[in-house]
Structure 1
Amino acid sequence: MLKIYLICLASFLFPICFLITLEIYKTLKNHIIINYTKNSFDNNNLLHLAQAYIKQNKWLKCITILENNIEVEDKVIIKCYNGLGFCYYHIEEYGLSEYYYKKILKQEPYNISTLFKLANVYSLSKDSKNARNIYQKVLELDKDNTIARKALNKLS
């Protein structure tokens, strides 16, 4: 009878132990990757890893890596802000997406790509007044921009 009890107990506990071990492994793996990138001296590796997570639609992992390494040099910080804005946009955190796109525009006020992304964030968050202002700014920078003209007509 004791053998049957032990077999039943082991068959019940084994899957639970396996699942717990698997979760611990995933957590440690993510922790090692984040610490590796944080201690890495090559900022391009950081951006490549973030881009890989973006391609896999792993928004939170990308955000974690980029936010933990935000103190990088000026050349790379714009790309980090862009990645953060993009990830927050895809998880529908439009306020944070707007925040990072505005940080880019403080350093590069004539970045048309970022202006478009910010206008799109405003459109999705039902802020048509700000979206209209951004599209008008794009048209001031590039008078022949048909995409901004069409978007502005849709908002009117």
Structure 2
Amino acid sequence: MFEIYLILATCFLLSICFLITNNLIYIYHQLKFLKKIEETINIMSIENQHILYIAKIYINRKQWLDCITILEFYMKQVRINELIILVQYYNYIGLCYQSVNIYTIATKYYLKAYNKAPFIKQTLKNLVNIYKLSGDIESASHIHQKLTDLNENRNT
């Protein structure tokens, strides 16, 4: 009986060690990437994909103000032909405000993303969610209908 207990305890501890090791590796890669960005000579020339990755790191760490600050700063650097990047910036900023329960500002940023590119599913989903959270069921159902129509058009 004692052997079974040891086997079960070992299996449990091995799974915990595996999860901890994976998280440590993930954190190591994040820190390595941030260090590489920090060593960049011209801070204004950081690629947009790197900025989005940094924003995701801040979101995962729940550092909302840092995420908003970096995205607002680099939003001014986005070229006109990089519309999708700008929409992602707006969506991430809206997510940050939504996470701290500032729904009016989150709605403003989601609507900016929607106005730039009205056919991006993630933006429509974010709008439906924020309207539901703020109690505007009519607007949520209207946007949800647009999302449904968009899904039906892509399937046909």
Range class of TM-score, shorter chain: 0.5 to 0.7
Query: Residues 37 and 65 of structure 1 are in contact (CA less than 8 Å); yes or no, is this contact kept in structure 2?
Result: no
Quote the Cα distance in structure 1 between the aligned partners of 2:127 and 2:55.
21
Cα shift at 1:41: 3.6
Cα shift at 1:143: 3.8
Question: Percent identity among equivalent residues?
Answer: 35
SS at match of 1:69: helix
Please give the residue correspondences for 1:112-131 in structure 2 after superposition, counting only pairs within 5 Å: 112-131=121-140
Quote the Cα distance in structure 2 between the aligned partners of 1:47 and 1:37.
18
Cα shift at 1:85: 1.1
Quote the Cα distance in structure 2 between the aligned partners of 1:101 and 1:89.
10
1:122 is matched by which residue type in structure 2? Y
Q: 1:50 aligns with which of 46, 49, 55?
A: 55
Cα shift at 1:130: 0.6
Query: Residues 89 and 121 of structure 1 are in contact (CA less than 8 Å); yes or no, is this contact kept in structure 2?
Result: yes
Report the TM-score, using the length of structure 2 for normalisation.
0.63
Quote the Cα distance in structure 2 between the aligned partners of 1:61 and 1:37.
20
Match of 1:66 in 2: 71
Match of 2:144 in 1: 135
Cα shift at 1:84: 0.6
Match of 2:22 in 1: none
Please give the residue correspondences for 1:37-116 in structure 2 after superposition, counting only pairs within 5 Å: 39-71=44-76, 72-74=78-80, 75=82, 76-116=85-125
How many residue pairs get matched? 110
1:138 is matched by which residue type in structure 2? L
The ranges of structure 1 where at least 4 consecutive aligned residues each deviate by more than 4 angstroms after the TM superposition are none
Cα shift at 1:111: 1.5
Gaps of 5+ in 1: 1-32, 145-156
Cα shift at 1:38: 5.4
Gaps of 5+ in 2: 1-37
The Cα offsets for residues 107-156 of structure 1, whole Å up to 9 and x where unpaired, read as 21111221111011000001111111111112222249xxxxxxxxxxxx
SS at match of 2:75: coil
Going from structure 1 to structure 2, the CA distance change for 1:79 and 1:131 (only over 3 Å counts) comes to: same
Cα shift at 1:44: 2.5
Report the TM-score, using the length of structure 1 for normalisation.
0.63
Task: Please report the RMSD computed on the Cα atoms of aligned residues, expressed in angstroms.
Answer: 2.2
